[in-house]
Amino acid sequence: MCVVKCVLSGTLSIVRNGPIWCAAWDAALCRGACVLVAMTTNPDLLGQLRREWQHLGRSHEARQSLERLRQRHPNAGLGQMSDLCDIVDALEVRSGLCVLERAQIVRVLLEEACDPLVHRTLLQTLLPGIVSVCRQLRFGDGIIRDPGETLGVAIALASELLVDWAGESRQYSAPDILSALRGRLRRWLLKEKAAQRALSQYDVVDEPAAPSSPLLARLSTLRGSQYDRMARITYARVFEGRSLRELAHDDHSAPSSLQAELQHFAIRFLI
């Protein structure tokens, strides 16, 4: 029973989001949407984005993008603006525009978010709201060590949402986007928490088995054969009490795949 308990103890099935920012990058490229520079956990991430925006939002391309917006939406209140930075400034609370006027502009931005620069404009104006969503979820405290990582993922998820929703017309686009972002970020945090809990089982070191047993004799007969690798790993797992995660690291394999191999080996030769 000892070998069954040690070798057949559970299987890992972790579904992680992977490099979320890379997924948003690929999706944006495929759909023609704007993509930020690669996300980092730098605490000055917002500062980096603001500096990038000051250059991008006042570029010649930004003025051309604004002109296209003005032609397609003549009643959106963009007449007095000269570039995309002016749009972001106008969407700030202290700009003087009323709530309905700001909502109208954001609705237009979402409708035209297939334009890379419009996508970036909308993302830039949503940054304070994205930070607020992270704050509501305590930046993943207790799950994610670095708050900057949570912020980076939140920005990436928001960018992904804008790709998914580009072309839609929503009366109150900003609240809808931030509400959807809160749901996506919460699900990401829950997956991270579940993954950490699942991975922790591989750090457990079991008590070594007795140095002399029928199992040891069985493993000895398999040494030097085509099953030598699995015999050695099983010996280390059962008689030395080494964790599955440590053994997987030494074997240059994934814990889940190594455990599957051990299960198959145990069922075939040891039970």
22-72 pLDDT, tens digit each: 333 333 333 333 334 333 334 478 888 999 999 999 999 999 999 999 999
Low-confidence ranges of the chain (pLDDT < 50): 1-43, 209
Could you say which of 152, 177, 200 is where a domain stops? 200
- The verdict on residue 190 lying in a domain is yes
- The verdict on residue 25 lying in a domain is no
3-state secondary structure of 167: coil
Could you say which of 141, 167, 200 is where a domain stops? 200
pLDDT of res. 6: 43
pLDDT of res. 199: 65
Overall domain count for the chain: 2
Rg (CA), the chain: 27
pLDDT of res. 7: 36
pLDDT of res. 133: 96
DSSP state of 94: G
| Rounded Cα distance, 248 and 256, in Å | 9
- The verdict on residue 159 lying in a domain is yes
How far is CA 18 from each of CA 33, 130, 255, 269, rounded to the nearest angstrom? 21, 21, 17, 36
Q: Are residues 193 and 243 in the same domain?
A: no
| 235-245 b/e (C-beta count within 10 Å ≥ 16 → b) | bbbbbeebbbb
Is the sign of the CA dihedral 160, 162, 163, 164 positive or negative? positive
H or E element, residue 208 = none
Could you say which of 151, 183, 200 is where a domain stops? 200
Q: Are residues 185 and 136 in the same domain?
A: yes
- The verdict on residue 26 lying in a domain is no
Residue with tokens 């990401």: 188
pLDDT of res. 130: 96
Segments forming the whole domain that contains residue 145? 32-200
pTM > 0.75? no
